Amino acid sequence: MNYQKRDPALMLLVSCGGLISALITSSAIFHLGHFVVSQHNRLLDFSQIFFPGAVYGVILSGCFALRRYLHDAWKAIAITAVCTLAYFFSTVAAVEVSLHPFGLVPDDRRGEVTDPALVAGGLTGAFCIVCVVSLLLNSRLTWQHRILKALCWTPVGAILAVVGWALGPSIGIALWQIVHSMNLTAPTETFQNAQGQPSHMFSLWAIWQAGMGFVLGLVVNGK
């Protein structure tokens, strides 16, 4: 009888890794942006969009290496690169749906962060990451089975994106207060300001990255 072995320690580790990645991103994003603005470099400014994905990729690779699933340096580089690009592609997908809603939302909400935009971004990022991790780390399965697993788990990314954004007023604000207490937010940013996009972004990063970390722990076959 064929069955997939689970590694509870891996699932816990990559979930915590996703949360740590979100905290690092939330703590560094303001000062990174401030540094980029001071350099007056358009290329450097554009590169900011890759930062959250790169941090997530590095943390994920470290988690898989700690549990001895990752033995080759090139695989760690590949996972980091894919996570970096996945965040970029997911952002582009969300922005495109937001600007061109294709009748999914009223025209007067064009440009806003809506559920269809979050679904598009969540699906895109999840498929990229789950697909590559499954292909690289499930060597005992056929490539068709690995792709099928990625497709089956991809919708979770959409759900996590919608839930993560919706929890901005609770989890997002809590994370903002932690970062703010360490003087890592803009000096002029107040609690009222943070209840807008900052809290939603903090919550989105935390929920999506931790949730997808757990999914990756389920996707990868146990040793």
For position 201, what pLDDT does the model report? 94
For position 102, what pLDDT does the model report? 72
State pLDDT tens for residues 174-188.
Answer: 999 999 899 888 888
Closest CA to 116 of 126, 107, 104: 104
Q: Is residue 75 part of a domain?
A: yes
Q: Work out how many domains the chain is built from and give that number.
A: 1
For position 1, what pLDDT does the model report? 38
Give me 121's structure tokens.
Answer: 């971004």
Mean predicted confidence (pLDDT) in 162-174: 94
Backbone angles phi, psi at 167, to 5 degrees: -90, 15
- Residue given tokens 């894919």 in the structure block: 82
Q: Is residue 3 part of a domain?
A: no
Q: Are 215 and 156 in contact (CB under 8 A)?
A: yes
DSSP letter assigned to residue 168 = I
Q: pTM for this one? A: 0.90
Q: Is residue 44 part of a domain?
A: yes
Closest CA to 86 of 52, 40, 119: 52
Mean predicted confidence (pLDDT) in 167-174: 93
Q: Following CA atoms 175, 180, 183, 186 in sequence, which dihedral angle do they give, to the nearest 10 degrees?
A: 110
Q: What is the DSSP string of 45-64?
A: HHHGGGHHHHHHHHHHHHHH
Residue 77 pLDDT grade (very low, low, confident, very high; cuts 50, 70, 90): very high
State pLDDT tens for residues 92-127.
Answer: 999 999 888 776 667 667 778 899 999 999 999 999
- Indicate whether 42 pLDDT > 90: no
User: In Å, what is the CA distance from 170 to each residue of 45, 147, 189?
Assistant: 30, 36, 18
Q: Is residue 138 part of a domain?
A: yes
Q: Is residue 1 part of a domain?
A: no
Q: Is residue 156 part of a domain?
A: yes
Mean predicted confidence (pLDDT) in 56-66: 96
Query: Higher model confidence: residue 103 or residue 212?
Result: 212
State pLDDT tens for residues 44-56.
Answer: 777 889 999 999 9
Q: Is residue 57 part of a domain?
A: yes
The whole domain housing 176 covers: 8-219
Q: Is residue 2 part of a domain?
A: no
Look at 99-103, 156-160, 197-201 and tell me which has the smallest mean pLDDT: 99-103
Q: Are 34 and 72 in contact (CB under 8 A)?
A: no
Q: Are 10 and 67 in contact (CB under 8 A)?
A: yes
Name the amino acid, one letter, at 15.
Answer: S
For position 45, what pLDDT does the model report? 77
Q: Are 98 and 121 in contact (CB under 8 A)?
A: no
